[in-house]
Chain A
């Protein structure tokens, strides 16, 4: 039985988890679990590296204690090595290296995005390669064709804001409170998604990417026009995001006939409207739809331990000089998304 200790500290969360190759999550611990205190309007997230430093070692001890396992029983230590806030990444990676050195176990340096990309396989034993992954969170919005462990093709990314960021900033603009995603979703339930005409950036365009910055500006204008209820703006905004996500995902599936499933991961996967629209799209394409449980969609260490497990089983271990990286694309060969100045 493979047993992996996973560490995550690449952004706001500090976390440790123990996961087996048989998909058993023996322990998962998350610090600062005040779920209400999300970015953009919330209480201070744990951005500071020193906060990660203070929390990580006790979390590892607590996770081992929860599982009733001694540190030297693990097969490898998996730690997020990027991308993310560099101070936080270093804390987790250096902790992982120290534990690897002390125990003589191998280190697996995990890409945070790979953690998200493989997490659906931790939750769903039926999910095989290749699959189409929509990764939507506060920091990322990508379509990845997942062909196997370490084999990812990035088909699309955002050319500006991430989808979760658009939710958070819309909540802030409309004074809906925090966390932004759930606040917008709740307000949207009392609103009319057709009430406010909002743009669908890049929909139907030849380029495969996402764009949400213009949508945010349109929300600002709608608010300042004073003609609409916040609920109607929220509902119309959410519908616009759903339309964009679905249009781009449909396009990606059309060019990837080998995809055996449609999978969503990342914090925005918690949004009910996004989930049900993706489910309908999967039905339309006659492929299964898979979404990990919500706690596994947001940042956590179980997904890092699982990605570490998948890599370890393939012999993909790292040396102790593995670098911490602020930017680390999953698919370095991906065609550049056209950046500024694009009008499509």
Chain B
């Protein structure tokens, strides 16, 4: 468990993940509205080298980034608006994993659990800006998460 004192700490946690993130990784961000998922994602994208703004993917659902603007290809995905898991099929998340890292907000909208090698991060609000970050890390992540 990590206690994130404020949005800057949440961004720093995202940056820590960016340091070990590889193409093909799937990371699921769980948590309610305002829990810090997008703040974490922005910290991660900035640390991957994104020079400009990282717009919320809530509307476009998939925001794709690729080198040279970021170190590795990554999709920032927000499934909040998906109600029928089948609708998500056509985004081609499975195919994307061949060469792209996936950062997925509202993963539960896909219905059944994601791939078994997904790193699951869970954000819960504490008092004021504090966030509690817990995780479920499969074997492939053991050497990489939590950050040391």
B82, CB-defined interface residue at 8 Å? yes
Residues 219-234 of A at the B interface (beta carbon under 8 Å): 219-221, 224
Give bound CA distance, A87 to B87, whole Å: 11
B60, CB-defined interface residue at 8 Å? yes
Which residue of the partner chain B has the closest CB to A44? B83
Partner of A45, one of B51, B62, B81, B86: B81
Residues 8-35 of A at the B interface (beta carbon under 8 Å): 11
Query: Of A121-129, A244-252, A336-344, which binds chain B?
Result: A336-344
B53 and A85 form a contact (CB under 8 A)? no
Residues of B within 8 A of A49 (CB): 90
B53 and A341 form a contact (CB under 8 A)? no
Given contacts A11-B59, A47-B87, contact A173 B33 (CB under 8 A): yes
A181, CB-defined interface residue at 8 Å? no
Interface of A is mostly: loop
Chain B: residues with Cβ within 8 Å of the partner, total of 38
B125 and A40 form a contact (CB under 8 A)? no
B146, CB-defined interface residue at 8 Å? no
Given contacts A50-B90, A341-B8, contact A165 B53 (CB under 8 A): no
B7, CB-defined interface residue at 8 Å? yes
Residues of A within 8 A of B43 (CB): 340-341
B42 and A85 form a contact (CB under 8 A)? no
Residues of B within 8 A of A341 (CB): 8, 11, 42-43, 46
Q: How far is the CB of B35 from chain A (nearest CB, A)?
A: 9
A84 and B45 form a contact (CB under 8 A)? no
A320, CB-defined interface residue at 8 Å? no
Partner of A220, one of B33, B42, B83: B33
A220 and B125 form a contact (CB under 8 A)? yes
Q: How far is the CB of A288 from chain B (nearest CB, A)?
A: 30
Residues of B within 8 A of A161 (CB): 38, 56, 58
Question: Which residues of A pack against B, CB within 8 Å?
Answer: 11, 39-40, 43-45, 47-50, 83-87, 138-139, 157-162, 165, 169, 172-173, 209, 213-214, 216-217, 219-221, 224, 326-327, 336-341, 343
